[in-house]
Amino acid sequence: MVDVLVIGGGNAALCAALMAREAGASVLMLEAAPREWRGGNSPHVRNLRCMHEAPQDVLVEAYPEEEFWQDLLKVTGGKTDERLARLVIRASSTCRDWMRKHGVRFQPSLSGALHTARTNAFFMGGGKALVNAYYRSAQTLGVQVRYETPVDHIELRAGRFVAAHAGPLRFEARACVLAAGGFESNREWLREAWGRNARGEWPADNFLIRGSRFNRGTLLKHLIDSGADAIGDPTQAHMVAIDARAPHYDGGICTRIDCVSLGVVVNRDAQRFYDEGEDFWPKRYAIWGRLVAQQPGQIAWSIIDAKAVGRFMPPVFPGTQADSLPELARQLGLDEASFMHTLDAYNAACRPGTFDHTVLDDCATAGLAPAKTHWALPLDTPPFYGYALKPGVTFTYLGLKTDEHAAVHFNGVPSDNLFVAGEMMAGNVLGQGYTAGVGMSIGTAFGRIAGTSAARAAMKETAHG
Amino acid sequence: MAESRVIPIVPLSAARAEVERVLTICNACRYCEGFCAVFPAMTRRLSFPAADVDYLANLCHNCGACLHACQYAPPHEFAVNVPQAMARVRGDTYADHAWPPALGALYKRNGLVLSTALAAGLALFLVLAVIKQGSLWQPAVGGNFYAVFPHGLMVGLFAPVFLFVVFALAMAVRSFWRGVSPGAASAPAVEEAARDALRLSYLDGGHGEGCNERDDGYTLARRRFHHFTFYGFALCFAATCVATLYHYLFGWQAPYGLTSLPKLLGIVGGVSLVVGTVGLGWLNLTRHPSQGDAAQRPMDRGFILLLFLTAASGLVLMLVRTTPALPLALCVHLGSVMALFLTLPYGKFAHGVFRGAALLKWAIEKRRPHSVVMGE
Ligand SMILES: Cc1cc2nc3c(=O)[nH]c(=O)nc-3n(C[C@H](O)[C@H](O)[C@H](O)COP(=O)(O)OP(=O)(O)OC[C@H]3O[C@@H](n4cnc5c(N)ncnc54)[C@H](O)[C@@H]3O)c2cc1C
Ligand code: SF4
Ligand code: SF4
């Protein structure tokens, strides 16, 4: 029997497996995906949010605990456990050396996202390089890994882990870490959670999943059904507006549409529905998925003109291009009269100002609802471009309630040998909202804690015979 | 950017279209920007016409890091394989820019060309040796090569070939250089390009641990074996130059003693070249199958083999110079050298010249202001 069984194969699972192994435990990891798709959403990540009191290797200036905490408080609207959140924040300042020891490499932010060089450490080569490094280190240390082994249920005895089942296979262990991600690729669950809207639509049917198809939430559901304490709301998820042509799964970062703040966004009725210039795109990025999800048909179009070209991250698919706005409306299949009404009203409402897309400038609309409060330039320079947007789910927030030892709780009682890490418990810290890089901060902190706790639980059991 | 383009827009070949497709995905992703110069150069562009594709493809060192790190690598439906797409285009650029243009086709049949050149080179020297002496197995006094092939004959054979090689490569790189013209080279740009070429900066993986060969682990093996090969070649070349100076400037005739400068340079260079080519050959055989362009393996291997033969036969020659095997060993060595020289402009050697030019383009370009400015 192994000491520690780790279920999942992404960042949180790998951190747990490495820590448990370093603590002397024998470790077996069960990953649902085949080798080439291993790692869940983690191969898609780019960076890690890190607290630091002074400039530190790839991080510039300072990002003190209090500022990180305030940022988290703001995005979550208070839906966070301060004790666990502060634990994550502090751990984020010290984990990088351990990560480096296991082969993870960081790089200075070179382009496109310079403002994040203060708060976030970027992985050289992104998350896939990180996942590869951890797997190599795990192999060197003698962690056993089984791919294509989706666990479907767990045997529990009075709040204690006994064994995990994957089809006909049964895996016993002295302790277990659950790190099997969220449930964003469980289409039925998303459909059930989002329900049916007043228009009779099932909004979730039009969602695209930005990450892994293997995060089906099987274990999350199973544990909640088995009496584990849950936290969070199944409709809460990190959702961004992405190119409607993105693949159903694993579209990752490149399908983002970055030009929203430079133009206008209209829905299927050719109406604007939100202030596109509210704030810088990264800050507003995560609200547009939900905004689009609330529109008819869960679709919208970002419209820009030639002046915007070269001022935003290049899109992965070419936009629909036209030499006039009416022609663009026709090409996009939008009602020409309504579209022109919206665009003419917008263009007429733009007040002269000094345009600068690198600061919150003074180009705003007057007398328009909804207003566009920054970067409001008339769309008047052909060619015009349109990009269709759909909601892209990054990950879900519903998870298992836990404490500072990462224990799974049953009716408020912590289990002695069942632990949880990563997206399966991120909701404790991140009840809603999102701030870039905090998913990895949570997964790394709690993955490491869960691994240590599981090793300790397993050793204790061995010692007691 | 687009307005200042003076190069006509030409339709992309299949290989170039694939690089354009892949770079469009990379430009929206950019996770690999720390690995090498290709990615920062890419972010200065919004589209990838043929000349830019050729430039970026030659800036790629085929280190493989961005394949193993790619979230869109096969089996993902985006099927991004930057090193492979770049390698295919590099093959095309060598052929397309070759001088004279008709000989560009030699790249495609490189294996055949190499073996023919080798056979012809060997035959040439064997025949000459027999004509000159009537035998290939006889002691030459004091290891005197010129007793087998007079100095004038060797110069007469090699000098024109050498001059042709230099000229053909210069013409090829001139044609390549005209593609994207980043502007004039400043001294710091030249210095940086030279340093990056001589140190193979972009085979360090961006973190100093090297690049990928057979799997996702990093290794400095290729950088090191390439250094052995390159500097070995340079030392051998230097040995020849010094010997030429001795001959013409000072009238000192070969053979030179074991501790003479030409000999020392030659021995160290030869050993280094043997180590380097054996290493590179081994890496070529064991590399991850999806890295690079399999169709170019014969060219890579042919070139590695010729370099190895040249170096190894040179060392053998040194060992047997006082035995009756001298004439035969000399023929084999000179035949290999001749084959190597004849094929230099139409084989893997050209990559060094094109890469050097691409590095210089990058060193110039990076000193110019960005024309693409993203918002926050
Ligand atoms: C496009 C994209 C970009 C992102 N960028 C960032 C970023 O820059 N910074 C950041 O902090 N966060 C980012 N995130 C969020 C980040 O991916 C997550 O916070 C993090 O990867 C979660 O790690 P995890 O280990 O909990 O889950 P995952 O990495 O999703 O791993 C879950 C693992 O469990 C396995 N699994 C699932 N079910 C089972 C089962 N039943 N049995 C066995 N195994 C199972 C999966 O195959 C997978 O290996 C991004 C997410 C996406 C989709
Ligand atoms: S190689 Fe892949 S991961 Fe790297 S920048 Fe390109 S698309 Fe992104
Ligand atoms: S293979 Fe290496 S050198 Fe080529 S583009 Fe990728 S990272 Fe750069």
pLDDT (tens place) for every residue of chain A, 465 residues total: 999 999 999 999 999 999 999 999 999 999 999 999 999 999 999 999 999 998 888 888 899 999 999 999 998 889 999 999 999 999 999 999 999 999 999 997 665 555 678 899 999 999 999 999 999 999 999 999 999 999 999 999 999 999 999 999 999 999 999 999 999 999 999 999 999 999 999 999 999 999 999 999 999 999 999 999 999 888 888 899 999 999 999 999 999 999 999 999 999 999 999 999 998 877 777 789 999 999 999 999 999 999 999 999 999 999 999 999 999 999 999 999 999 999 999 999 999 999 998 899 999 999 999 999 999 999 999 999 999 999 999 989 899 999 999 999 999 999 999 999 999 999 999 988 888 899 999 999 999 999 999 999 999 877 765
Query: Which residue's alpha carbon is nearest to atom 7 within ligand 2?
Result: B26
What residues of A are in contact with residue B43 (Cβ under 8 Å)?
A: 110-112
Shortest Cα distance, chain B CAs vs residue A36, angstroms: 7
Lookup result for tokens 């001022």? A311
Residue B29 has pLDDT above 90, yes or no: yes
**Buried/exposed code over A150-185 (b: 16+ C-beta within 10 A; e: otherwise):** bbebbebeebbbebbebeeeebebbbbbbbbbbbbb
Shortest Cα distance, chain B CAs vs residue A301, angstroms: 19
Beta bridge partner(s), residue A27:
A4
Atom of ligand 1 nearest to the CA of A215: 37
A400: its two tokens: 């298992």
**Buried/exposed code over B206-234 (b: 16+ C-beta within 10 A; e: otherwise):** bbeebbbbeebbbbbbbbbbbbbbbbbbe
Q: What angle do CA A140, A146, A151 make, to 5 degrees?
A: 140
The more confident residue out of A81 and B327 is A81
Ligand 3 contact, B60 CB (< 6 A) = yes
**pLDDT given at position B322:** 85
What residues of B are in contact with residue A123 (Cβ under 8 Å)?
A: 31
Interchain contact, B374 vs A115, CB within 8 Å: no
CA distance linking residue A3 with residue A454, whole number of Å = 8
Ligand 2 contact, B65 CB (< 6 A) = no
What residues of A are in contact with residue B375 (Cβ under 8 Å)?
A: 261-262, 280-281, 311-312, 357-358
Lookup result for tokens 């397993």? A458
**pLDDT given at position A182:** 95
Residue B346 φ/ψ, nearest 5 degrees: -125, 30
- In sequence order, the 6+-apart residues with CB closer than 8 A to the CB of A52 are A59, A62, A63, A64, A93
CA distance linking residue B93 with residue B114, whole number of Å = 19
| Terminal-to-terminal C-alpha distance of chain A | 13
Nearest to A393 by CA among A248, A284, A271, A261: A248
Nearest to A314 among B27, B33, B35 (CB): B27
Contact of B66 with chain A, judged by CB distance below 8 Å, is answered with yes
* Pairing outcome for strands A106-107 and B218-219: unpaired
For the question of whether the overall pTM of this predicted structure is more than 0.80, the answer is yes
Give yes or no for a contact between A426 and A443, defined as CB atoms under 8 angstroms apart. yes
**What is the chain A residue with the closest CA to B27?**
A314
Beta bridge partner(s), residue A144:
A28
- CA B250, B252, B257, B258 dihedral sign is positive
Q: CA of B282: how far to CAs of A257, B225, B294, in Å?
A: 45, 10, 15
Interchain contact, B24 vs A129, CB within 8 Å: no
A190: its two tokens: 């998303």
Residue B42 has pLDDT above 90, yes or no: yes
What residues of B are in contact with residue A110 (Cβ under 8 Å)?
A: 33-34, 39-40, 43
Contact of B249 with chain A, judged by CB distance below 8 Å, is answered with no
Interchain contact, A112 vs B374, CB within 8 Å: yes
**pLDDT given at position B149:** 84
Residue B90 has pLDDT above 90, yes or no: yes
Shortest Cα distance, chain B CAs vs residue A416, angstroms: 37
Phi-psi region of B238 (alpha: psi -120 to 50; beta: other; left: phi over 0): alpha
Nearest to A64 by CA among A82, A81, A79, A50: A50
CA distance linking residue B346 with residue B361, whole number of Å = 23
Give yes or no for a contact between A432 and A76, defined as CB atoms under 8 angstroms apart. yes
Phi-psi region of B49 (alpha: psi -120 to 50; beta: other; left: phi over 0): beta
CA distance linking residue A328 with residue B160, whole number of Å = 63
What average pLDDT does the segment B238-260 reach?
A: 88
Q: DSSP for A68-95? A: HHHHHHHHHTT-S-HHHHHHHHHHHHHH
ipTM of the complex: 0.95
Residue B253 has pLDDT above 90, yes or no: no
Residue B9 has pLDDT above 70, yes or no: no
Atom of ligand 3 nearest to the CA of B35: 7
**pLDDT given at position A86:** 98
CA distance linking residue B2 with residue B47, whole number of Å = 9
Number of residues that make up chain A: 465
**pLDDT given at position A287:** 87
Kindly give the distance from the C-alpha atom of residue B147 to the centroid of ligand 1, in angstroms, as a whole number. 74
What average pLDDT does the segment B348-374 reach?
A: 91
Nearest to A187 by CA among A166, A165, A202: A202
**pLDDT given at position B1:** 37
**pLDDT given at position A117:** 81
**pLDDT given at position A453:** 98
**pLDDT given at position B168:** 96
CA distance linking residue B83 with residue B87, whole number of Å = 6
Residue B3 has pLDDT above 60, yes or no: no
Atom of ligand 2 nearest to the CA of B23: 6
CA distance linking residue A394 with residue B257, whole number of Å = 72
Query: Which residue's alpha carbon is nearest to atom 4 within ligand 2?
Result: B32
Instruction: Please count the other Cβ atoms lying within 10 Å of the Cβ belonging to residue B75.
Output: 8
* Nearest ligand by distance to the CA of B26: 2
Ranking A172-176, A231-235, B173-177, B238-242 by mean pLDDT, the lowest is A231-235
Instruction: Please count the other Cβ atoms lying within 10 Å of the Cβ belonging to residue B288.
Output: 15
**pLDDT given at position B140:** 65
CA A26 to chain centre: 31
Contact of B2 with chain A, judged by CB distance below 8 Å, is answered with no
Residue B248 DSSP label:
I
Kindly give the distance from the C-alpha atom of residue B20 to the centroid of ligand 3, in angstroms, as a whole number. 15
Contacts 24+ apart (CB under 8 A), B214-219: B214/B286, B214/B287, B214/B288, B215/B68, B215/B288, B216/A129, B216/A132, B216/A136, B216/B68, B216/B69, B217/A136, B218/B65
A193: its two tokens: 């959670």
Residue B99 φ/ψ, nearest 5 degrees: -125, 135
What average pLDDT does the segment B318-341 reach?
A: 89
Give yes or no for a contact between B194 and B248, defined as CB atoms under 8 angstroms apart. no
**pLDDT given at position A358:** 85
Give yes or no for a contact between B205 and B64, defined as CB atoms under 8 angstroms apart. no
B141: its two tokens: 């006094």
A14: its two tokens: 């790998």
- DSSP three-state, residue B110: helix
What residues of B are in contact with residue A214 (Cβ under 8 Å)?
A: none
CA distance linking residue A221 with residue A235, whole number of Å = 14
Nearest to B180 by CA among B328, B364, B367, B369: B364
| Terminal-to-terminal C-alpha distance of chain B | 21
Interchain contact, B216 vs A136, CB within 8 Å: yes
3-state helix, strand, coil in chain B (%, to 5): 65, 0, 30
CA distance linking residue A387 with residue A308, whole number of Å = 13
Nearest to A26 by CA among A459, A418, A464: A459
Instruction: Please count the other Cβ atoms lying within 10 Å of the Cβ belonging to residue A274.
Output: 21
Residue B4 has pLDDT above 50, yes or no: no
Interchain contact, A253 vs B28, CB within 8 Å: yes
A342: its two tokens: 């919206």
**What is the chain B residue with the closest CA to A44?**
B71
What residues of B are in contact with residue A437 (Cβ under 8 Å)?
A: none
Instruction: Please count the other Cβ atoms lying within 10 Å of the Cβ belonging to residue A142.
Output: 9
What average pLDDT does the segment B147-174 reach?
A: 91
Kindly give the distance from the C-alpha atom of residue A125 to the centroid of ligand 3, in angstroms, as a whole number. 11
Q: Where are the beta strands (DSSP E) in B285-329?
A: none
**pLDDT given at position A348:** 97
Atom of ligand 1 nearest to the CA of A218: 41
